[in-house]
Amino acid sequence: MRRLLPLLFLLFGLRPVPAQVPDTAALALRRLPAAGLVLRQDWRYHPGDNPAWARPEFDDRAWDTIGVARPGAALPTRALGGIGWFRLRLRLTDSLRYQALGCVMARALGAAEVYCNGRRLGQYGTLSADPARVRPGGFRPDPLDLPVAERGELLLAVRFAPWQPPAPLARYISQSRLLNVKLTLLPQPRIRFQEVGQSMSMAIYAVQGGVFLLLGLLHLTFYRYNRAQPANRYFALYALLLAIGYLPVLNLTSPDLGGALREYFLSYVFLCAGCLWGLRALYALFEVRPGWLYKSLWAATLLLVPFITAEYARGSAWGTAGLVAFVVLVGGEQLRLTVQAARRRRRGARLIGAGFALSLLCLLFYLFSAVFVTQQLPAITNAFAGSLLFFFPALGISLYLAREFALDARLLQLKLGEVERLSAQTLAQEQEKQALLARQNETLETQVQQRTDALQRSLTELRATQAQLIQSEKMASLGELTAGIAHEIQNPLNFVNNFADVSQELVQELKEAQAAGDAEEVEALAEDLAQNLGRIHQHGQRAAGIVRGMLEHSRQSSGERAPTDLNALCEEYLRLAYHGLRAKDKTFNATLDTDLALGLPLVPASAADLGRVLLNLLNNAFYAVQQRQQRGTEPGYQPTVGVSTRLAAGAVKIRVRDNGTGIPEEVRQKIFQPFFTTKPTGEGTGLGLSLSYDIVTKGHGGTLDVDSEVNQGTEFIITLPA
């Protein structure tokens, strides 16, 4: 903090001045302080707006004599209602008459035009007859040069319009400090040097903000790879908030006072919140549960930041005192945690404590320079000491967390090496066991072979007499079973292959949609792909179930029955059969016609067995309409396959119909015979309808009928007892 800051806080106000000043008296100035002179007394004021009031010959003896720019001093109520004029006469001695002088208005709560001896020097802010459109000048405006040729007795005239503060600040900002006019020397090399220092201080703030940004991103990366250490997350929030908090500091050049106050407000919000998250990181590091003090500091932040901003706008030192108290509380709590951790010999406490010690040295240097060192580079001193004040504790915590991350990585490597060693040892033991088992198996095989040879010699004659009959029965049974299994397992395997082909196409479309940035299309394709994979798994399980079912069928056993929703079963297998054929022939299209009875009761049945029946019938239906379409002799032909359900006379009827080639009468009488098929070699085994007939009639006590007409279509009717 600059050494002049307390003086500036005392100067930002006003104090009433006795009105008995002589009407023609002028304020005599013999010299100016290095920091300039604020003109508080002997101002004449009159409300209204008249350009003639800027002329030095105008008689202002009837005007009010007031003092300005002193906190707590009251102004006439009419000075706050609209545009008015202030006039002040100055007499310069020879020591000041030929020096470069400037007039500046800083932190004035209003807009103003400044005149010297009737000549307009410049304007601060935006003047308007409408109070809502008045905009004040900035915090650090440029000074206006006073004419050298008119340096004897000067008349300063200020056309002034008061500013109405925003609603959140109106109750905090006192309207008594309207005018803040200061005379200063221009442009001395020291002042230019201060401007350079101000630029360098902004560069220091920018560098510090960048350092905190890098630290925040680094510890976010640490937290991503090691979520068991939440202190990395809290420290990352601390560093990022401080980095954001320095951005308003870099932009405190707003020409509007309200904009500057908003920048200060945002800066304090992020800096205070960042300090509290840094404290939270220490709680996590030292495994201490945050108490009432930490929660109270958060609550105090919500009240303190508006108070600090408003007090700064008023030019009061109470805002600075509140900020100092907040920093002292946070720093004291951080120091208390570090000391306790050091006493408990917690790892890293000394490293973090060293950061706080360096921060304390920076604070002492800051105070020493503010009190005893001349103000050669106040902005650089302020920025450099303030930056290191926050930097060293953050650096200590960051180094400790980085070391913890490195130690965890090293420990993980050691554990990985131990796992690899144990795995190699286990593999060697397993190989020894396998070798021992191999030797034992060879011994057992030798013994079994010897006993088998003896047994075979005793059964040679019996086998010779029965070999032909056994071989014939075996081949017949094996051929029938193999053919049945091959036919039944062909459908699920076709679905597996077809859905796999479709999935490959979906993956290619997914890549194209992702490259195009179409999020909705990507989501839809991903959902279709997940459904296809589920169907592949389902039909793989179904193939295994078919094998088990065929084996059970060969042992004259039937599957378990359970209440089955035939409507859902019909819809599912109609869709599966259609997409299965579409996967083979993408040019094929057909109309799917469903007429499912509402309120159909559940029927005790084996869903897997009935599914096989429906799949066989639907595959045959789609094959028939495809064959008719491929003839190409009927223009306008539309392949159609339909499924309907009805409840009648205590039985459920399922009808599978198509408008395909139809079945001739001589073929219709043989379709339920095993191994009879009209399909080309390799496309059918002749067991589909035979097995379907057995499942419906023998397995479920129903009937399977067919009605067909050549070139008109075919309809299979399944009747099941309800």
Query: Which of 219-233, 430-444, 470-484 is the most confident on average?
Result: 430-444
Q: Which residue has the higher pLDDT, 217 or 159?
A: 159
pLDDT at 658 over 90: yes
Mean pLDDT, residues 248-271: 65
Domain boundary among 187, 219, 250: 187
**Residue 461 within any structural domain of the chain:** no
Distance of CA 435 to the CA centre of its chain: 56
Query: Which of 260-264, 350-354, 464-468 is the most confident on average?
Result: 350-354
Reduced to 3 states, what is the DSSP secondary structure of residue 603? Answer: strand
- On whether both 196 and 183 belong to a single domain, the answer is no
**Token pair of 602 as six digits:** 């559940």
Q: Which residue has the higher pLDDT, 225 or 683?
A: 225
Assign residue 18 the CATH number of its domain. 2.60.120.260
**Token pair of 581 as six digits:** 């054929």
The helix/strand count (H/E) of the chain reads as 16, 18
pLDDT at 95 over 80: no
**Residue 552 within any structural domain of the chain:** yes
**Residue 410 within any structural domain of the chain:** no
Please give the Cα distance from 639 to 602 (Å, whole number).
31
Tens digits of residue pLDDT in 405-464 = 777 777 777 888 888 888 888 888 888 888 888 888 888 888 888 888 888 887 887 667
Q: Strands 84-92 and 119-124: what pairing? A: unpaired
pLDDT of the residue at 167: 66
Per-residue pLDDT band at 142 (split at 50, 70, 90): confident
Q: Are 719 and 651 in contact (CB under 8 A)?
A: yes
pLDDT of the residue at 176: 45
Domain boundary among 160, 187, 214: 187
- On whether both 335 and 223 belong to a single domain, the answer is yes
pLDDT at 11 over 50: no
Instruction: Give the rounded percent of residues in the chain with a pLDDT score beyond 70.
Output: 73
Angle at 275 between CA 304 and CA 288, to 5 degrees: 115
Expressed as residue numbers, the domain containing 75 is: 5-187
**Residue 430 within any structural domain of the chain:** no
Please give the Cα distance from 658 to 622 (Å, whole number).
8
173: left (phi over 0), alpha (psi -120 to 50) or beta: beta
Mean pLDDT, residues 125-134: 81
Nearest partner of 614 among 651, 574, 646, 575, judged by Cα:
574
**Residue 457 within any structural domain of the chain:** no
- On whether both 249 and 182 belong to a single domain, the answer is no
Which residues make beta-bridge pairs with 709?
A: 713
Q: In this predicted structure, which of 41-55, 389-403, 504-518, 698-712 has the lowest mean pLDDT?
A: 389-403
Whole-number average pLDDT of the chain: 75
Nearest partner of 33 among 190, 140, 139, judged by Cα:
190
- On whether both 147 and 276 belong to a single domain, the answer is no
**Residue 305 within any structural domain of the chain:** yes
pLDDT of the residue at 595: 92
- On whether both 546 and 570 belong to a single domain, the answer is no
Assign residue 612 the CATH number of its domain. 3.30.565.10
Residues in the chain: 722
Tens digits of residue pLDDT in 152-177 = 678 889 888 887 777 666 655 554 45
Phi, psi dihedrals of residue 292, rounded to the nearest 5°: -65, -30
- On whether both 677 and 612 belong to a single domain, the answer is yes
pLDDT at 48 over 80: yes
Instruction: Tell me the CB-side half-sphere exposure of residue 441, using CA atoms within 13 A.
Output: 6
pLDDT at 195 over 60: no
Nearest partner of 544 among 461, 598, 599, 488, judged by Cα:
488
Mean pLDDT, residues 650-671: 90
Q: Are 550 and 481 in contact (CB under 8 A)?
A: yes
Q: Which residue has the higher pLDDT, 57 or 332?
A: 57
Instruction: Give the rounded percent of residues in the chain with a pLDDT score beyond 90.
Output: 8
Tens digits of residue pLDDT in 455-476 = 888 788 766 765 554 444 445 4
pLDDT of the residue at 505: 85
Does the CA dihedral 226-228-231-235 come out positive or negative? positive
**Residue 142 within any structural domain of the chain:** yes
pLDDT at 479 over 60: no
Which residues make beta-bridge pairs with 648?
A: 651
Mean pLDDT, residues 231-253: 72
Query: Which of 46-55, 71-80, 293-302, 321-330 is the most confident on average?
Result: 46-55
pLDDT of the residue at 70: 52
Per-residue pLDDT band at 654 (split at 50, 70, 90): very high
pLDDT of the residue at 552: 47
How many structural domains comprise the chain? 4
Please give the Cα distance from 203 to 377 (Å, whole number).
14
- On whether both 110 and 49 belong to a single domain, the answer is yes
Strand ranges, E, within 106-229? 110-116, 119-124, 144-145, 153-162, 181-185
Per-residue pLDDT band at 659 (split at 50, 70, 90): very high
pLDDT at 653 over 90: yes
Which residues make beta-bridge pairs with 706?
A: 716
Angle at 241 between CA 235 and CA 245, to 5 degrees: 145
Per-residue pLDDT band at 126 (split at 50, 70, 90): confident
Q: In this predicted structure, which of 606-620, 667-681, 702-716 has the lowest mean pLDDT?
A: 667-681
Phi, psi dihedrals of residue 372, rounded to the nearest 5°: -110, -25
pTM given for the model: 0.40
Q: Are 404 and 230 in contact (CB under 8 A)?
A: no
- On whether both 59 and 200 belong to a single domain, the answer is no
Per-residue pLDDT band at 314 (split at 50, 70, 90): low
Angle at 509 between CA 508 and CA 513, to 5 degrees: 120
Does the CA dihedral 301-306-307-313 come out positive or negative? positive
Nearest partner of 258 among 160, 383, 340, 168, judged by Cα:
168
Domain boundary among 404, 430, 464: 404
- On whether both 517 and 608 belong to a single domain, the answer is no
Please give the Cα distance from 625 to 711 (Å, whole number).
10
Q: Are 391 and 357 in contact (CB under 8 A)?
A: no
Tens digits of residue pLDDT in 527-576 = 888 888 888 888 888 777 666 655 544 444 356 788 999 999 999 888 88
**Residue 517 within any structural domain of the chain:** yes
Assign residue 386 the CATH number of its domain. 1.20.1070.10
Mean pLDDT, residues 97-116: 78
- On whether both 599 and 613 belong to a single domain, the answer is yes
Nearest partner of 705 among 663, 676, 674, judged by Cα:
663
- On whether both 392 and 531 belong to a single domain, the answer is no
Per-residue pLDDT band at 713 (split at 50, 70, 90): very high
- On whether both 517 and 572 belong to a single domain, the answer is no
pLDDT at 267 over 50: yes
pLDDT of the residue at 323: 72
Please give the Cα distance from 510 to 521 (Å, whole number).
8
pLDDT of the residue at 452: 84
Q: How far apart are the first and last CA of the chain?
A: 93
Q: Which residue has the higher pLDDT, 690 or 373?
A: 690
